[in-house]
C-alpha cells in the first residue's frame, strides 16, 4: 500500500510536469524551428503543379549582360511596356520599386507606356521603423507612375525565425478597419477573376500568416527580360498570360531561402508566382487553433501516462514508439486537408514523460525495496538452509539480488513450513474466509481419494466427524458462538478415534483475518485414561464410601465406648478424605456450572452438619450474618463441602470448651462487591513453616490439633481450588487475639 501511494504521488507529479511543459512549449511556440524542419520535409512529399497562366519575365544574368549593370534607365522599361501593350497579357505585376524620381523625360515616357497596359500593378514598399516615431513609412511609386498603374499592392515577405520564407501575408495594415494594403498578387488575382480570393475573405486580420505550398524549382514558365525586349519571344507566348516581372540575378539582392529541400534560394518574383498558385488553388496550409494544437499535443502524453498503470514496461516502450509514429502520421494526414499540426511539442511530451516516469518509478521502487528488505532481514526466520553470498554490484542490481534471495528464502520457508505441517503427528487443515479448505496435511487427507483441496468445510467435517458429534463441532466452529472454556471441542471420528479440535485464526502481517487453522489432536488414549479415572472416582465415591457408611450405621445402633468413638472418627475422616479427593478430581475435569446461592444459609447448613462434632468437645460455633441476604453465583455442593472443611478444621484446632466465630458480611475489593466469610478459631494459630504452603496438596500440621484423627492435607487444597473456580479468594492468617482466621471472598451475584 505504501508503494502504491508513493507511485501515485510520483505519477501525479510527472503528469503535472509533462502537461505544464507541453502547454508552455505550445504557447510560446518554442519548438518552431524543429516544427519548420518537419513541415519542410512533409511539404516536399507532394508539391503542387504551377499554374500555366503564369509567365515570369526574369531580369537575369543574360539581361544584365545585354543591357548593362543595374539599375537600367527607365526608358528601357518603357520600351518593354510598349511591346507588352501590343501582346495584351491578362495582367502584369512589375516587381521593381519606383519610389524615387529619375530623369523627368524617362519618368514621363515610362508612365505613358504603363498607362497603355491594362491591369498593371506596381509594388508598395514599407520601411521599418518609420520617421518621426511612426511604426513604419509607406514608400509608394512616384505619383505619375502610381496614377498610370491599375493598382498597388504590398510585396513584403514573411520570414520565419530561421530566416526562411514559408508563409505569406495577404494584406498589410488593419483589415477589420479597412486600412489595409492587399498583396500585389492578391490585386492581380482580383483583376483576373473579378473578386477577392477565398483565402483573403477568410482572413480575420492582416497579421495572420498562411503556409504557402511551393512548386518545384524551375516549374514556372519563364523568359529572359532581354529576350522579350529584343523581340525574340513570339507574341502568342505572352498573350493572356499573367506576366510577373522581377529580378532573378544573384547580384540584385532579391533572393530568399525557401524550403525546397535543396538548400537554395528563390527570387522574390518566383515566390510571388507560387503565391498566385496558392491563391488560385486555395490550398494554403492553415495552422490548427491553439486549443486544438494543445489538445493533440497532450493526448499522446496522457495515453502514455494512463498506460503506465496498465502495461508492462515492454509494452510501454513499444507504445511510446507507436505514439511517436502516430504523431507524425496525424501531422501528415492533416496536411492533406490543408491543416498544419506542429508535432514538436507532442513528440517532446512523449520523449520527456517516459524517462522521467521510469526514473521516478525506479527510485520509488528502489526505496520501497530497500525498506522492505530491511524489514525482511529484521523479521527473517532462520531455517536450516544455507545460501552463498555474491560479489559487489551496483545498487539496483544489488537490491534485485537481495530480493531474489528474499523470495528464495520465502520459497524455502514455505517449503519448510509445508513439510513441517504435512508431517505433523496429528491431522491439520487450513480454511479461508469462505470456508474452503486450502491446505491439508497427510493425516487429514488419508483415505480421501479425490483429495481435500478446495473442499468445503462442512464436507470436510462430514468425512471426518461422527454423526453424533457433528453438530457439537459445528457449534464450536460457529463464529457467533463463544468458544468453550478450554478453547477446543472433543469428538469421535468415523473410525472410532477421539480427537480434540482447536481452531486458531490466520492473520496477515497488517492484522487482517485471512482464514483459520484447524488442529486435531489425537486424545484417544487420554480419553480412555479419563474414563478409567472416572471409574476410579466412582469406586472412591461409592465402593469406598459404602463400607464406611455401614460402619457408622452399626455404631449408631449400640452403646459407644472409647474404642467405638475412635472407630467412628476414623470412618468419618475416611469419608471426608474420599469426598475431598473426588471433589478435587472433578473440579479439574468439569466446567463451571453456577447458580444463585444464598451464602449465609449455605454456611449455616454446613455449620449445623458439624454440630455433633462440636458438642462432643463442648465447642460453640457462632454464625454472625451481616450479609443482608447476599447471593453468590456458585456450585452449592462444592461450596458446601468447602465450608464444612473450614469449620471442621476450626473445631479440630480449637481447645475443648472453646468457640468458633463465623462472620458473614458484604465488602468491596478494587471497587467490586464481594461476600466475605471469616472463620476464626481459638487454637494456637498457624505455624510459621506452614504459612507459605497452607493450600498446597498434602500439606498438613496436626501437631497443634486437638484430635486423635490425623488429616491428609487435601481439605484446604480443595477449598482453594473451589474458590479459584468461583472467581474468589481465600486467605489464612493468625488473628490478633490468637487462633487462626480463614477469610473467603466470593463475588456478589449480579
State how far the alpha carbon of 256 is from the alpha carbons of 36, 158, 252, 275, 496, in Å. 16, 11, 12, 14, 107
In this structure, the answer to whether residues 230 and 270 fall within a common structural domain is yes
| C-alpha closest to that of 522 among 501, 505, 543, 542 | 501
In this structure, the answer to whether residues 675 and 738 fall within a common structural domain is yes
What is the C-alpha to C-alpha distance for residues 442 and 459, in angstroms, rounded to an integer? 17
Answer whether residue 210 is part of any domain: yes
In this structure, the answer to whether residues 666 and 694 fall within a common structural domain is yes
Do 123 and 92 touch, CB atoms closer than 8 A?
Answer: no
Do 666 and 748 touch, CB atoms closer than 8 A?
Answer: yes
State how far the alpha carbon of 266 is from the alpha carbons of 250, 274, 489, in Å. 10, 10, 102
Answer whether residue 379 is part of any domain: no
Q: Which of 590, 605, 631 is the last residue of a domain?
A: 590
Alpha helices in 70-209 (DSSP H): 74-87, 104-115, 143-148, 184-193, 198-202
Answer whether residue 663 is part of any domain: yes
For helices 344-378 and 2-27, the axis angle rounded to 10 degrees is 160
State how far the alpha carbon of 432 is from the alpha carbons of 46, 455, 671, in Å. 68, 11, 44
Kindly give the pairing relationship between strand 171-174 and strand 428-432: unpaired
Number of domains present in the structure of the chain: 6
Q: What is the CATH number of the domain that holds 616?
A: 3.30.565.10
Within 10 angstroms of residue 100's Cβ, the number of other Cβ atoms is: 9
pLDDT at 96: 92
Long-range contacts of 475-482 (CB under 8 A, 24+ apart): 476/501, 476/503, 477/503, 477/518
What does residue 627 show for φ and ψ, rounded to 5 degrees?
-85, -10
Domain that holds residue 415: 386-420
pTM of the model: 0.57
In this structure, the answer to whether residues 586 and 605 fall within a common structural domain is no
Do 300 and 346 touch, CB atoms closer than 8 A?
Answer: yes
Q: In what order do the strands lie in the sheet with 729-734?
A: 620-626, 659-669, 672-680, 740-747, 729-734
The alpha carbons of the chain give a radius of gyration, in whole angstroms, of: 58
Three-class SS of residue 109? helix
Answer whether residue 680 is part of any domain: yes
In this structure, the answer to whether residues 35 and 130 fall within a common structural domain is no
What is the C-alpha to C-alpha distance for residues 503 and 237, in angstroms, rounded to an integer? 109
What is the C-alpha to C-alpha distance for residues 706 and 701, in angstroms, rounded to an integer? 12
What does residue 205 show for φ and ψ, rounded to 5 degrees?
-155, 165
Do 712 and 737 touch, CB atoms closer than 8 A?
Answer: no
pLDDT at 583: 59
For helices 290-307 and 344-378, the axis angle rounded to 10 degrees is 30
Three-class SS of residue 519? strand
What is the C-alpha to C-alpha distance for residues 376 and 723, in angstroms, rounded to an integer? 48
Do 301 and 22 touch, CB atoms closer than 8 A?
Answer: yes
What DSSP assignment string belongs to 328-363?
Answer: HHHHHHHHHTTEE---HHHHHHHHHHHHHHHHHHHH
Q: Which of 282, 304, 331 is the last residue of a domain?
A: 282
Answer whether residue 446 is part of any domain: yes
In this structure, the answer to whether residues 598 and 685 fall within a common structural domain is yes
In this structure, the answer to whether residues 684 and 612 fall within a common structural domain is yes
Please tell me whether the peptide bond between 71 and the residue prior to it is cis, using omega within 30 degrees of 0: yes
pLDDT at 651: 86
Q: How far apart are the first and last CA of the chain?
A: 48
Q: What does the angle CA 226 – CA 229 – CA 235 come to, to the nearest 5 degrees? A: 120
What is the C-alpha to C-alpha distance for residues 154 and 188, in angstroms, rounded to an integer? 12
In this structure, the answer to whether residues 236 and 134 fall within a common structural domain is yes
Answer whether residue 163 is part of any domain: yes
What is the C-alpha to C-alpha distance for residues 482 and 478, in angstroms, rounded to an integer? 8
In this structure, the answer to whether residues 267 and 342 fall within a common structural domain is no
Buried b (16+ CB within 10 A) or exposed e, 520-539: bbbbeeebeeeeeeeeebee
> Could you list the mean pLDDT of each consecutive 10-residue stretch along the chain, which spans 750 residues?
80 93 93 92 89 94 91 92 91 92 91 93 87 82 93 92 92 84 95 94 89 92 93 89 93 89 88 95 92 95 92 90 95 91 94 89 77 69 56 63 68 72 79 84 68 75 83 78 63 84 83 84 76 62 57 61 64 62 58 82 88 85 89 87 86 87 89 90 82 67 51 70 86 85 89
pLDDT at 710: 46
In this structure, the answer to whether residues 359 and 455 fall within a common structural domain is no
Do 99 and 126 touch, CB atoms closer than 8 A?
Answer: no
In this structure, the answer to whether residues 441 and 555 fall within a common structural domain is no
Answer whether residue 380 is part of any domain: no
DSSP state for residue 540 in the 8-state scheme: I
Do 541 and 582 touch, CB atoms closer than 8 A?
Answer: yes
Q: Which of 517, 538, 555 is the last residue of a domain?
A: 517
What is the C-alpha to C-alpha distance for residues 346 and 294, in angstroms, rounded to an integer? 9
Half-sphere exposure for 436 (CA within 13 Å, toward CB): 5
Answer whether residue 376 is part of any domain: no
Alpha helices in 250-343 (DSSP H): 268-281, 290-307, 313-336
In this structure, the answer to whether residues 179 and 294 fall within a common structural domain is no
Amino acid at each position: 500500500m505504501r508503494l502504491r501511494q508513493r507511485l501515485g504521488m510520483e505519477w501525479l507529479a510527472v503528469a503535472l510536469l509533462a502537461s505544464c511543459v507541453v502547454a508552455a512549449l505550445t504557447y510560446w511556440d518554442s519548438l518552431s524551428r524543429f516544427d519548420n524542419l518537419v513541415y519542410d520535409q512533409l511539404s516536399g512529399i507532394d508539391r503542387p503543379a504551377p499554374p500555366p497562366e503564369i509567365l515570369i519575365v526574369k531580369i537575369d544574368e543574360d539581361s544584365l549582360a545585354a543591357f548593362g549593370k543595374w539599375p537600367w534607365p527607365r526608358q528601357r522599361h518603357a520600351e518593354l511596356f510598349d511591346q507588352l501593350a501590343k501582346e495584351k497579357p491578362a495582367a502584369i505585376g512589375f516587381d521593381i520599386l519606383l519610389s524615387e524620381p529619375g530623369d523627368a523625360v524617362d519618368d514621363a515616357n515610362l508612365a505613358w507606356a504603363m498607362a497603355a497596359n491594362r491591369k498593371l500593378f506596381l509594388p508598395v514598399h514599407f520601411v521599418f521603423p518609420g520617421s518621426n516615431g511612426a511604426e513604419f513609412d509607406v514608400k509608394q511609386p512616384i505619383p505619375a507612375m502610381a496614377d498610370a498603374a491599375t493598382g498597388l499592392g504590398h510585396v513584403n515577405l514573411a520570414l520565419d525565425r530561421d530566416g526562411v520564407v514559408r508563409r505569406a501575408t495577404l494584406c498589410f495594415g488593419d483589415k477589420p478597419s479597412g486600412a489595409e494594403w492587399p498583396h500585389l498578387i492578391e490585386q492581380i488575382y482580383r483583376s483576373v477573376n473579378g473578386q477577392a480570393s477565398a483565402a483573403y475573405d477568410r482572413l480575420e486580420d492582416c497579421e495572420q500568416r498562411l503556409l504557402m505550398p511551393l512548386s518545384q524549382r524551375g516549374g514556372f514558365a519563364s523568359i529572359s527580360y532581354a529576350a522579350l525586349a529584343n523581340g525574340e519571344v513570339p507574341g502568342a507566348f505572352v498573350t493572356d498570360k499573367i506576366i510577373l516581372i522581377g529580378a532573378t540575378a544573384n547580384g540584385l539582392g532579391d533572393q530568399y531561402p525557401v524550403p525546397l529541400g535543396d538548400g537554395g534560394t528563390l527570387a522574390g518574383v518566383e515566390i510571388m508566382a507560387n503565391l498566385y498558385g496558392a491563391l488560385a488553388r486555395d490550398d494554403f496550409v492553415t495552422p490548427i487553433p491553439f486549443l486544438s494544437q494543445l489538445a493533440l499535443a497532450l493526448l499522446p502524453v496522457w495515453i502514455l501516462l494512463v498506460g503506465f498503470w496498465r502495461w508492462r514496461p515492454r509494452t510501454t516502450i513499444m507504445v511510446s514508439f507507436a505514439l511517436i509514429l502516430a504523431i507524425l502520421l496525424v501531422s501528415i494526414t492533416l496536411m492533406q486537408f490543408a491543416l498544419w499540426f506542429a508535432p514538436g511539442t507532442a513528440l517532446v511530451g512523449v520523449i520527456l514523460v517516459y524517462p522521467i516516469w521510469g526514473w521516478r518509478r525506479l527510485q520509488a521502487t528502489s526505496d520501497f525495496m530497500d525498506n522492505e528488505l530491511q524489514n525482511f532481514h529484521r523479521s527473517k526466520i532462520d531455517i536450516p538452509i544455507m545460501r552463498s553470498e555474491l560479489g559487489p554490484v551496483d545498487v539496483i542490481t544489488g537490491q534485485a539480488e537481495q530480493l531474489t534471495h528474499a523470495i528464495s528464502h520465502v520459497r524455502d520457508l514455505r517449503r519448510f513450513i509445508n513439510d513441517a505441517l504435512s508431517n505433523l503427528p496429528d491431522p491439520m487443515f487450513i480454511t479461508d474466509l469462505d470456508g474452503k479448505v486450502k491446505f491439508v496435511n497427510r493425516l487429514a487427507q488419508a483415505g480421501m481419494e479425490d483429495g481435500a483441496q478446495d473442499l468445503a468445510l462442512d464436507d470436510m467435517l462430514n468425512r471426518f466427524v461422527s454423526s453424533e458429534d457433528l453438530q457439537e463441532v459445528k457449534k464450536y466452529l460457529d463464529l457467533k458462538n463463544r468458544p468453550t472454556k478450554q478453547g477446543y471441542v472433543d469428538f469421535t471420528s468415523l473410525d472410532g478415534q477421539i480427537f480434540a479440535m482447536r481452531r486458531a485464526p490466520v492473520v496477515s502481517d497488517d492484522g487482517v483475518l485471512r482464514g483459520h487453522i484447524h488442529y486435531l489432536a489425537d486424545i484417544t488414549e487420554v480419553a480412555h485414561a479419563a474414563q478409567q479415572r472416572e471409574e476410579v472416582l466412582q469406586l472412591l465415591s461409592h465402593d469406598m464410601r459404602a463400607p464406611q457408611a455401614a460402619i457408622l450405621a452399626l455404631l449408631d445402633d449400640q452403646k459407644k465406648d472409647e474404642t467405638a468413638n475412635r472407630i467412628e472418627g476414623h470412618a468419618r475422616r475416611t469419608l471426608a478424605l474420599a469426598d475431598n479427593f473426588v471433589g478435587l478430581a472433578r473440579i479439574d475435569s468439569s466446567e463451571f456450572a453456577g447458580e444463585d446461592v444464598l451464602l449465609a444459609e449455605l454456611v449455616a447448613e454446613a455449620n449445623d452438619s458439624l454440630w455433633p462434632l462440636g458438642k462432643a468437645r463442648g465447642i460453640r460455633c457462632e454464625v454472625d450474618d451481616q450479609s443482608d441476604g447476599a447471593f453468590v453465583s456458585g456450585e452449592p455442593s462444592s461450596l458446601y463441602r468447602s465450608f464444612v472443611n473450614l469449620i471442621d478444621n476450626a473445631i479440630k484446632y480449637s481447645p475443648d470448651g472453646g468457640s468458633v466465630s463465623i462472620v458473614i458480611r458484604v465488602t468491596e475489593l478494587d471497587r467490586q462487591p464481594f461476600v466475605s466469610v471469616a472463620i476464626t478459631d481459638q487454637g494456637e494459630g498457624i505455624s510459621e513453616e506452614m504459612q507459605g504452603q497452607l493450600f498446597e496438596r498434602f500439606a498438613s500440621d496436626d501437631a497443634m490439633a486437638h484430635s486423635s484423627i490425623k488429616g491428609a492435607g487435601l481439605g484446604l487444597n480443595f477449598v482453594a481450588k473451589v474458590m479459584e473456580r468461583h472467581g474468589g479468594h481465600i486467605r489464612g492468617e493468625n488473628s490478633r487475639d490468637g487462633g487462626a482466621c480463614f477469610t473467603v471472598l466470593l463475588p456478589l451475584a449480579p
